[in-house]
Structure 1
Amino acid sequence: MKWQQIPLGPLQTNSYIVENPDKTCMIIDPGEEGNKLIHLLNQRKLKPIAILLTHAHFDHIGAVDRVRDTYNIPVYIHKQEEKWLGDPRLNGSQLFMQINPIVAKPAEHIIQNEGEMKIGDFSFRIFHTPGHSPGSVSFYFQEYDVVISGDALFQGSIGRTDLPGGNSAQLIKSIHDKLLSLPEETYVLSGHGPVTTIGEEMDSNPFLNGF
């Protein structure tokens, strides 16, 4: 499996493409600039089979319908944010005056529980990592030492918790219980900023002192 980080939109939200040798791929958090993302996929002759959402804030879902409709593929989201795709108040797009309200169609698949998931030939584990938002999830590809953490954990920082449904104590618990328990060599692919590792964040992240 290979992965590629693609910063999109005014907030430079990281979208990720994970691909197998047969050119099938999954798209995580197509946040904005749908045409740019589609051009890249077509240029590389990739075959998308699913869209996974770490959470449903506006900067992570802006191009969901554009990409979904282009490739006729399903969207996966956690049950606690099932209604956020179609509600600008919940997904936050109504809070930012410079951004048009975002309304996306409902997801085809609702993530009900943590645990193993298989989509096509991709196998990974789902962790529920709330705190930044109630339905935040992380996708762990154990075989490749990669976790896609959304806006839970960043290089040297953690997700904001001042948006609706945010909870700072819950976020710290999520990071401690679900993410810092992974092997230290695990790459952390965050929703914003550069790639880091679990070990690096355990050693130097000022928000995680004591863990």
Structure 2
Amino acid sequence: MTQEPPFQVQIVPVTPFQQNCSIIRAANGDAAVIDPGGEVDRIEEAAKAMDATIKKIWLTHGHLDHASGAMELKRRTGAPIEGAHEEEVFWLSQIAEQSKRFGIGNEGENVVPDRWLDDGDTVEIGGVVFDVYFTPGHTPGHVIFHQKDARLAFVGDVLFKGSIGRTDFPRGDHATLIRSITEKLWPLGNDTRFVPGHGPLSTFGEERRSNAFVADHVLAGG
């Protein structure tokens, strides 16, 4: 997927969970990587193919398929890790344990971010600014990144095409997730496209129309 200037986006599915790691390349060649869940070699190769220099690492949340490769990518590039919200230390501090539990081996590594993010913060790459929204529910410290001029959001595991994030993990909460979707995502506009943590892209408008969990008519009980 390629955006119009001032930035391009390359989605690199990583890990056995096929998590959508996104590389955002600004016009000056600087790049941010969202959710490097693993396969750091592949991420670096994709960035090289874009003629992009990785300068930032942004995390939506701390599940192993989204954050396992963050510390290794930081070591290789010197890029600081920004995100998620401080509540996400709950998951970021147990990535290594979770990786062994899921049979991924020793690739997963606990993450210590250089900067925690909160609602109303911004992150920036190559002069392109993204707004940060705090969207708990799937995990306690989940955030999303929104670029208003491009009308594009990176929503991690909050929302998917036709589905929503799981809330049966520790510190997940279904009602909180629904509030995050309706109070933080929907106001960004029906024509806003989003990159979910897994699977194909969609728009908020399409999900409000057809999503079996959060379509307007579903939440209205009709």
Specify the TM-score bucket, using the shorter chain as the normaliser: over 0.9
4+ long deviations beyond 6 Å: none
- Tell me which of 107, 114, 126 is aligned to 2:119: 114
Following superposition, the deviation at residue 139 of structure 1 comes to 0.5
Q: Give the equivalent residue in structure 1 for 2:87.
A: 80
| Alpha carbons 2:139, 2:167 under 8 Å: kept | yes
Q: Give the equivalent residue in structure 2 for 1:140.
A: 146
| Alpha carbons 1:116, 1:123 under 8 Å: kept | no
| Alpha carbons 1:82, 1:110 under 8 Å: kept | no
Following superposition, the deviation at residue 118 of structure 1 comes to 3.8
Following superposition, the deviation at residue 75 of structure 1 comes to 0.3
| Alpha carbons 2:95, 2:110 under 8 Å: kept | no
| Alpha carbons 1:85, 1:105 under 8 Å: kept | yes
| Alpha carbons 2:133, 2:145 under 8 Å: kept | yes
Following superposition, the deviation at residue 106 of structure 1 comes to 1.2
Question: How many positions carry a matched residue from both structures?
Answer: 208
Give SS of 1:6's match.
Answer: strand
Cα distance in 2 between the residues matched to 1:201 and 1:141: 19
Q: Give the equivalent residue in structure 2 for 1:17.
A: 23
Following superposition, the deviation at residue 152 of structure 1 comes to 0.3
- Tell me which of 170, 174, 178 is aligned to 1:168: 174
* 2:9 paired with 1:3: yes
Q: Give the equivalent residue in structure 2 for 1:207.
A: 213
Q: Give the equivalent residue in structure 1 for 2:4.
A: none
Q: Give the equivalent residue in structure 1 for 2:3.
A: none
Q: Give the equivalent residue in structure 1 for 2:105.
A: 100
- Tell me which of 21, 30, 35 is aligned to 2:41: 35
Structure 1 residues 116 and 196, CA gap change in structure 2 (3 angstroms): same
Residue identity in the other structure for 2:181: I
Following superposition, the deviation at residue 94 of structure 1 comes to 5.1
Cα distance in 2 between the residues matched to 1:195 and 1:80: 27
Structure 2 regions of 5+ residues with no counterpart? 1-6
Structure 1 regions of 5+ residues with no counterpart? none
Give SS of 1:109's match.
Answer: coil
Cα distance in 1 between the residues matched to 2:98 and 2:203: 29
Output one character per residue of 1:67-107: Cα deviation in whole Å (capped at 9) or x when no partner: 11111110012111135323248x843542x2236323411
Output one character per residue of 1:113-138: Cα deviation in whole Å (capped at 9) or x when no partner: 21141424121111111100000111
| Alpha carbons 1:187, 1:197 under 8 Å: kept | yes
Q: TM-score, normalised by structure 1?
A: 0.92
Structure 1 residues 118 and 13, CA gap change in structure 2 (3 angstroms): closer
Cα distance in 2 between the residues matched to 1:119 and 1:169: 31
Q: Give the equivalent residue in structure 2 for 1:67.
A: 73
Q: TM-score, normalised by structure 2?
A: 0.88
Give SS of 2:56's match.
Answer: strand
Structure 1 residues 168 and 128, CA gap change in structure 2 (3 angstroms): same
| Alpha carbons 2:130, 2:148 under 8 Å: kept | yes
Residue identity in the other structure for 1:115: G
Structure 1 residues 42 and 83, CA gap change in structure 2 (3 angstroms): same
Cα distance in 2 between the residues matched to 1:118 and 1:58: 22
Root mean square deviation, CA, Å: 1.7
